Structure 1
Amino acid sequence: MADPPSLVPGTRCSHARFTRSGRTSKPTPIRDRRLELAPTFLLIDRRRLHCKDCDSVLSERMPGVELGHEMTRRLYDDIFHAAVNRPYQDAANLHGVSADLVETIFREHARDLIGDFAPELSEMVAIDETVLAGQMRFVCNCLVTRTLVDILPDKQPVTVEHFLRQANRNGRVRVVVQDMNDHYRKAAQKALGPEVLIVVDRYHVVDALNRAMNASRVAVTAGKTGPLATAEKANLRKIAPLLLRNRREMTRAQWVELKEILKSKEDLRNAWLLKEALKGLYGLKSAERAAARLARLEARFPKRWPAAMRPMGKAARMVTKFRVEILNWYQVQQDNSFTEAMNNRYQLIDAGRAGVQFETVRAKALLRYGGLLDQWYLDRV
């Protein structure tokens, strides 16, 4: 008698009387990991088994082989992990197969790993948006484990609110770090409750002030023409980096240079002073002192901003609108630098997508940065 029928799983035959019936006429070629960049195949000589009861002839199974692709399981896993970590064509070149095969293997295995994936929020999360597959997508990261929670197909308030409510099913969220996006603030308050601490991170506040400062610089010479205007624009472009730099970070020579130009440009000088005062909120010892400074600044806001100060005035109004969330930074000194760094990584996945849909980019991001695969294995391939 031959080995029991467990050697031939998948057969409809339920009998136990198997006998050997010779071997297959030709060895079965199974693709394996390449040796020295050359295509490598294992030629497996398989036994045939004959059932006396139903008169069927079955071939012996091959452990460790993906029969659907005629390759070893280890090569299948290598191709999948390479597809997670690389563009499909790069993974294909690495293993000597076609890009279509790489994509097929990735879709098969990713579907199994992510099919029942249910994101869950931790005590501290960061929310933001980034462009993937040509559209703005909502991104949520965990600041406790430093992993990706999920990427949504859009950033609509209804979508964000539904996601936050579903992912917080255990009610663990205590802190949400975000930028100055009012839709996100309202969605977080509705979905997570009023007791959740919402923190507007320092990076986005400083970035908004810097962009407003640069816009104010451009507004100073807007509409001016002629040689004198050209020279003025050139001088202002020259000091543009100094306008964005904090006063305490300048050398004495840089400060003298900046002060000399600001002396003759009152609106630009006032915009720069406001920028410095608002950035200085983060250098105070307590939230109470920061709140007092912000109140004094707001009391001095003009009813009508001069043209060159309008961009900075708009940024200042935004700061006062989010005063509570900005001052919450003193309770949890956490920013979104991790999320900004991760956005760059997600965009690198998107850069190598070559027409792949958003769902595939999301799957790769979750597998690489969502804790669904061991990072050491990804680094190895």
Structure 2
Amino acid sequence: MASGWAPTQVPGLGRYVAAQALGLASEQVAMNVTLLGGGFGRRLEVDFIAQAAHIARSQPGVPVQTFWSREQDSTHDFYRPPCVARYQVGFDAQGQLVAWTAASAGPSIVQQFLNRQFGLPGAGPDKTTAEGAFDQPYEWPAARGSHRIVELPVPVGFWRSVGHSHQAFFTESFVDEAAHAAGQDPLAFRLALLKNHPRHAAVLRAAATKAGWGTPLAPAADGAKKARGIALHQSFGSIVAQVAEVSLDPADAKRFRVHRVVAAIDCGLAVNPNGIRQQMESAIVFGLTAALYGEVTLDKGQVQQSNFHQQALLRFNECPMVETEIIASTEPPEGVGEPGTPPIAPAVANALFALNGQRLRSLPLKLA
């Protein structure tokens, strides 16, 4: 018999890999779940459990605890999948929208996960790679979308909001770009594509109204001009719209600040409104951190970011004021832990375009 203690989201899988490493049947291993802290996908992996079990097998009767330094953890991780996309939109001679195409490519988390944990090939479509793109609410006169799975020698894993995190950035950035190309207000342009989706339209209007969309913005405390950007996305059953207020640093045109984020969410019946607001604030800070600082680079196969000096977290004095409007609903309750993450990056990018005309099409957001 063997016993293990681990902060895991998948104790059954943890028991399985421990048993494999120890040469025991799963029934001979007890896996105890400790306090998790934040999960966000990393706790779905069980590599650290397998490592502890392998060491324990070589040291019978001796308790074994594995501990990774932050540097080890950062450079031997399962990373958010890199993804690229190509979007096109067509207008007729009268400036009316006629067609939309979207194509993206990136590695599959599910295929890697199945192969890593069970040795399975994981062949076939992986919905998580294109979620948020193939099921977007906008009604284009004609539309075509595709995603190609690309195998890369970089381990990828689940991340807060999974495929929605990159697909929302692609879609909402390009919808904004299409609105400007058509000479239309980004809010009005979106609402015109949501005529048959009243819940989505209501969420978008709620965020825009609360943020004062269309009204002048007072300058920042340093006198810098502000601008707003908007984004809408549905994930995990919930609809979220966000408006971000952004200004440029007067002393450095490459630096910017997010002052305020107004969010509206329709998650069905709001069972715990305070909990919903907390999750929205958390998801926005999580997503904004990645949008500003979430860069991972490799040199000769080695990840170069090892600690906070190379990949920062959003500091308290950088956090925007977050206001959340919860839409009253009698629909069944849906997810609230992840839907606040996808819209923040495109909302900020769209605000930056409104501010200085620079369209940022990659993450993290870097002004030229």
TM-score grouping bracket, smaller chain normalisation: under 0.3
In our comparison, the structure showing a higher alpha carbon Rg is: 1
TM-score (structure 1 length as normaliser)? 0.20
TM-score (structure 2 length as normaliser)? 0.21
